[in-house]
Amino acid sequence: MDGSRAERKERTRQAILRAALRRLEDRGFAALSLRSVARDVGIVPTAFYRHFPDMDELGMALVTESFASLRVMIRAARQESMAPGDAIGRSVRVVVRHVHEHREHFRFIARERFGGVAALRRAIGWELRLIVSELATDLGRFPYLERWSADDLRMLAELMVNAMISITDAVHSLPPGQPEAEAEIIGTAEKQLRLIVLGVPHWRGAPRDGGAPRPAAD
């Protein structure tokens, strides 16, 4: 056991976060007990209080950590989408890779987004709305989208974020080590995003680019 007292304390704190995420593999946060976390870390239950005032604060720390992870992914996906070529395909693969590498973070967000703890639902909802706003701003720089209203950009961003969320759900709901099932998920996700993008030039008939008729399918 080396390191200063502060370093060792930080290490225990990290161990608590790791143990909690591991325990959350098959249970919701509401069903996670302080004692089970302490047991996994190898400390006595009362030592938990040296790091968090209660379980709710542990939950909030997990939200913070999980969204830090999500934002790393978004930054990577954004870079892929700005390079020329198959932007959608590369973005989707970035998402899938990150979901694999940080399964626990994404599962935590997915599960607690509508989970049993109101404080976590609120915090996660807030963060997701922020991400939608940021994507809406980004989208405003793409062809056809420069003249869209802020509202419509948000609408589109929301649609895309929802599509991405359902990819992450699909990815971590399949058992590990099924490359062909995963390839299918990736394929479907790409198609969905392509279909959405396909509608963009025809939105409200704004751009004068050939005047395809509005579909009769509505």
Partner DNA sequence: TGTACATCAGTGAACGCGCGTTCACTGATGTAC
Residues that bind a copy of itself (CB under 8 A): 26-31, 86-88, 110-111, 113-118, 121, 125, 142-145, 152, 154-156, 158-159, 162-163, 166, 169, 173, 188, 191-192, 194-203, 209-218
* 177 is a site residue for DNA (CB under 7 A): no
CB of 69 to a copy of itself, least distance (A): 17
Binding-site size, DNA (CB under 7 A):
22
CB of 2 to a copy of itself, least distance (A): 38
- Pick the stretch among 5-13, 82-90, 98-106, 156-164 that binds DNA (CB under 7 A): 5-13
Give the Cα separation of 119 and 125 in Å (integer).
Answer: 10
Q: Which is nearer to a copy of itself, 43 or 159 (CB)?
A: 159
- Residue 43 contacts which entry, a copy of itself, DNA, none (Cβ below 5-8 A, type-dependent): DNA
Query: Tokens 């939200």 label which residue?
Result: 63
3-state secondary structure the chain: CCCCHHHHHHHHHHHHHHHHHHHCCCCCHHHCCHHHHHHHHCCCHHHHHHCCCCHHHHHHHHHHHHHHHHHHHHHHHHHHHHCCCCHHHHHHHHHHHHHHHCHHHHHHHHHHHCCCCHHHHHHHHHHHHHHHHHHHHHHCCCCCCCCCCHHHHHHHHHHHHHHHHHHHHHHHHCCCCCHHHHHHHHHHHHHHHHHHHHHHHHHHHCCCCCCCCCCCCC
**Mask for 82-121, x = binds DNA (CB under 7 A):** ----------------------------------------
- Residue 192 contacts which entry, DNA, a copy of itself, none (Cβ below 5-8 A, type-dependent): a copy of itself
Give the Cα separation of 134 and 72 in Å (integer).
Answer: 14
**Mask for 24-53, x = binds DNA (CB under 7 A):** ---------xxxx--x---xxxxx-xxx--
CB of 144 to a copy of itself, least distance (A): 6
CB of 5 to DNA, least distance (A): 4
What backbone torsions phi and psi does residue 136 show, to the nearest 5 degrees? -60, -45
C-beta of residue 139 within 8 angstroms of C-beta of residue 156: yes
Question: Which residues of the shown chain bind DNA in the complex (CB under 7 A)?
Answer: 1, 4-6, 8-9, 12, 33-36, 39, 43-47, 49-51, 54-55
